[in-house]
Structure 1
């Protein structure tokens, strides 16, 4: 792509940059022994230093919050720069003249123009500032009053970037044009639209505005709430589909909630912007909401990665719905989506049929936390909803209710729970267990039900010698990054040694990568792939290198250092949790009275590993 920095130059910047010097501009570093340095993490509040720097490997890692990477990644996180901007900053620092690829040519030139995504994100950032400045004007009084009535003060409005689209046709458009954004950029980004006369006007007018951010925190769109009775538009109006705003992928509040979702292994799905704000402010920081569309498969994919929702790990997904007919219908639709999660899925319905925002206004913050605490399994709610449709005082009613409810029990992913739900369903219906059991078994083996009950498999993948388990796929992804994107993977990949890989063929490929000189010094391309292939000691590993070199990465769009960091954290997390299970098993077999020293030594190691696992979970979420 035009404007891309040559891989060789990126590798040279990484080689010549002293990560300790770069980080020392921000963090006071002290010796930690073994040639390593330690300081207080700049990315989260802490009193004792857990931020480690390895000058020998040119990488950093915080055991407190899970952030890690090389000098390029540090600048991206610390100064909110793009990958290219970070490379350019470091190149200036060490005196390297960068070359940029223009088609098939590469030559020194000035800084490239930003790509479309960066330009659209910049335009939205400028729009946020404009809308926020308008919120304090006289014309925005209805917007301020709306927020106040919903229980949100000025600090809350600022935290969520709330603003106001003024009563003017083209005030924002003129403002952004003066800042250098083009007609096409404003239309493409959904900020402006052509009028009937052909002039460019603002898309949003006389509305309360919420900026919608992606998981990285960049503003990619807006949600706009109607304030005036003579506004004939819908109550909520969202940014249209654009190159950066895909409503089926967007979850409002995900940028603020992602760390707590990863840390707690739980997400609360609510219905609106004010519900997200109310939950966060009430002490439920894991709340997110969809933006103008139903909760769907793309949203599930985002949450599964945050929750590390795999066959080995189960998170919690809690849906909140109004208790009315529409809310119950949405809950039943969520049960169908539940089959795409491995984790446990719950529903929380307010006894007064109030949404979280109304509940907080009426009963305070504690009521929000109690609502989440009183959640019930979604399958229980679905079964009760089906059974309540029928008259259980009649034989026909009981039999029909059994026929309708049996497929729901058959869809429960955790097979060990099915017998318990068979007994529960029989009790609720007032029937013997045998006919209910037969109905569930018949539903489980009915055409189409086997597929529905199975977990998702994602995109089709070729058969490989390395299996298809969730852990194996994470290992494959890490190796693909090393082979296909060595300039991005760099020292981050090299810092995770072969011992963290489980499958023997993956271990062999990882060992071959080290034997070929490691990723940090590789420039990529066919020469690098062949060097790794030649270093493989068996035919299976050689075959896998060829396969991984061309297999697509498991993400939409281009990879970046955050994705590399996230993938490597998921890889390590699996081995760390396995060691935690082994330690817990050992501790249970030890007598703490007779083997006190060994017991406390193992217990201390367990606490350290559990802290490391929490940090890795958060790091895994950071690349999403």
Structure 2
């Protein structure tokens, strides 16, 4: 027993499950694997071969660590350590490795180890050619297959069962391990038949299950068939490739989560050796715990987890499911959306290994992806759409625990929506965050509260019905210009006729502008004796007609006789106000495009912004001569 303990230091065993760093005084520390925690309180003393967690109070030696984390019996823990240290055990009743005295788990692991080796041999057989062809078509040669231990399960009913029996395994062990199933006639039949097979290993590198891919069209089974739940295989506790990726994950502080076995192969062969995948189940909380331990994911240390999903609707849905678990990480979580619906395996085949590395090297933060997905479901070029998008996206930002990051994303959300008043969005997010913090249930209910569209600051004033306000400087300009157009058309002709209705932001004034146009415009008014009558007749209803009468009799607001200079000031002021609104709209459009926009997307918008700014400068310096 002492020989086993001495041959396998405790930090070597623990490092298969937890990233350990210097804890000072000869101690090592990491995130406790036995409870969730925000700071590393799990300590290992290599010289004493003991561990202790100051959070949950779990403690013990190497053997007790394995018993706790793997649910081993005492004998199974000793056998695991002996196997790793290449030590042959002598049992009390004499002899070596007596099957009857060995732990159940050890026997099941041995059966899987033997099965994995046999499957690899079958891949090289004549029948295994179909599997070799499948791999070759996806860019995997014999060396790649050997590196990942890929094998082939022959199409017969009991080839593996007979082989394992010949190696001394009982039917009960073969059935319990999920390597075979009960046939209709009572005998055992191979679980995997006529399929390509990937061995699934635990963090220590032991085979505990298999994933098998359908190869033949006449195979009516599922595309992928995995080992069922067994004493050694729990799909929610397993990540394919974790045995190959764990050291690099701990070293680099980054884990990459892909969707399938071939995606893991493609990533690793492309140099992304931190890639892992779930085995026939969605990425869930138990998978997070595995990665957190390897990342040393605490509130002090921030690693990164990158999810890759297809760019299609199903892939985006999967990404948003991953987002739901985001706050269980302290680490950054990002998403790499593969182009054209290609997974990493397809991407490697189509564009080469560099394309895979580029994909993983440039992910989008998962919060940003979730925000963009929420915003894209709405028409943010309209006030109602902006309000609805804010209603959906603000609670997403409010969930961010770090206040500084939450503020940054609130500002980013304002940009995506084209809302220039960033502080309005920041305050809204902060309000929802308080609701969620004070009463999570109430926060979920109140956060999506309806926001009236007019309450949302917009990139440009919206055309909504409201009372005229004589004290509004903008409305004063519009009203004075309309009075000039009706009373002294010659002072604003022909420039006034070039102004569109939407340059008058007050709907009643826009209606008057429309009536002037329908009456022939100010150019016609310069010579028409009945111009006012024509304008009144063109009005849509009595309210507009009454307003025209007001504008006709209301004195023009100047102490001197109205002249072209006075009229020119109002022509310039109205046009500059219109230009400013358009500048705000274009800036909001650039904000929505963001930094990731291509030159083709942002170029025309930036050009328009530049032209508008030049025009405004020209009006400011030259006045009416710049119109």
Would the TM-score normalized by the shorter structure come out above 0.5?
yes
Q: CA deviation at 1:226?
A: 0.4
TM-score scaled by structure 2? 0.57
Match of 2:282?
Answer: 294
Q: CA deviation at 1:88?
A: 11
Q: Secondary structure at the match of 1:251?
A: coil
Q: CA deviation at 1:353?
A: 2.4
Is the 8 Å Cα contact of residues 256 and 274 (structure 2) preserved in structure 1?
Answer: yes
Partners of 1:286 and 1:155 in 2: CA distance? 19
Q: Flag structure 2 segments of 5+ consecutive residues without an equivalent.
A: 10-45, 50-60, 66-75, 444-627
Within a 5 Å distance, the mapping from 1:25-64 to structure 2 comes to: none
Aligned with residue 306 of structure 2, among 290, 296, 318: 318
Q: CA deviation at 1:447?
A: 4.6
Aligned with residue 389 of structure 1, among 341, 366, 377: 377
Is the 8 Å Cα contact of residues 310 and 339 (structure 2) preserved in structure 1?
Answer: no
Q: CA deviation at 1:114?
A: 1.4
Partners of 1:92 and 1:158 in 2: CA distance? 26
Within a 5 Å distance, the mapping from 1:35-184 to structure 2 comes to: 83-84=78-79, 113-184=101-172
Aligned with residue 432 of structure 2, among 443, 454, 458: 443
Partners of 1:90 and 1:330 in 2: CA distance? 41
Q: CA deviation at 1:89?
A: 12
Is the 8 Å Cα contact of residues 411 and 453 (structure 1) preserved in structure 2?
Answer: no
Is the 8 Å Cα contact of residues 7 and 85 (structure 2) preserved in structure 1?
Answer: no
Q: CA deviation at 1:445?
A: 2.4
Change (3 A) 1:392 1:237: same
Say yes or no: does 1:265 pair with 2:258.
no
Change (3 A) 1:286 1:183: same
Q: Which has the higher contact order (CA 8 A, sep 6+)?
A: 1
Partners of 2:83 and 2:212 in 1: CA distance? 37
Q: Secondary structure at the match of 1:205?
A: coil
Match of 2:616?
Answer: none
Q: Flag structure 1 segments of 5+ consecutive residues without an equivalent.
A: 1-9, 21-55, 60-68, 74-80, 101-106, 455-624
Match of 1:561?
Answer: none
Partners of 2:85 and 2:354 in 1: CA distance? 49
Is the 8 Å Cα contact of residues 270 and 353 (structure 2) preserved in structure 1?
Answer: yes
Q: Tell me the matched-pair count.
A: 385
Partners of 1:143 and 1:336 in 2: CA distance? 37
Partners of 1:244 and 1:170 in 2: CA distance? 22
Q: CA deviation at 1:131?
A: 0.9
Is the 8 Å Cα contact of residues 115 and 160 (structure 2) preserved in structure 1?
Answer: yes
TM superposition outliers: structure 1 runs of 4+ over 3 Å: 17-20, 56-59, 69-73, 84-93, 96-100, 107-112, 447-454
Q: CA deviation at 1:157?
A: 0.6
Is the 8 Å Cα contact of residues 58 and 70 (structure 1) preserved in structure 2?
Answer: no
Partners of 1:148 and 1:18 in 2: CA distance? 42
Match of 2:52?
Answer: none
Q: Secondary structure at the match of 1:437?
A: helix
Partners of 1:450 and 1:340 in 2: CA distance? 19
Match of 2:503?
Answer: none
Is the 8 Å Cα contact of residues 14 and 71 (structure 1) preserved in structure 2?
Answer: no
Q: CA deviation at 1:442?
A: 2.5
Partners of 1:89 and 1:308 in 2: CA distance? 24
Change (3 A) 1:174 1:378: same
Q: Secondary structure at the match of 1:138?
A: coil
Is the 8 Å Cα contact of residues 222 and 239 (structure 1) preserved in structure 2?
Answer: yes
Q: Secondary structure at the match of 1:229?
A: coil
Match of 1:202?
Answer: 190
Aligned with residue 344 of structure 2, among 356, 369, 374: 356
- Structural RMSD (CA): 3.5
Change (3 A) 1:188 1:91: closer
Within a 5 Å distance, the mapping from 1:358-507 to structure 2 comes to: 358-431=346-419, 432-447=421-436
Q: Secondary structure at the match of 2:237?
A: coil
Q: CA deviation at 1:84?
A: 3.9
Partners of 2:83 and 2:275 in 1: CA distance? 37
TM-score scaled by structure 1? 0.57
Q: Secondary structure at the match of 1:232?
A: coil
Change (3 A) 1:452 1:119: farther
Within a 5 Å distance, the mapping from 1:324-335 to structure 2 comes to: 324-335=312-323
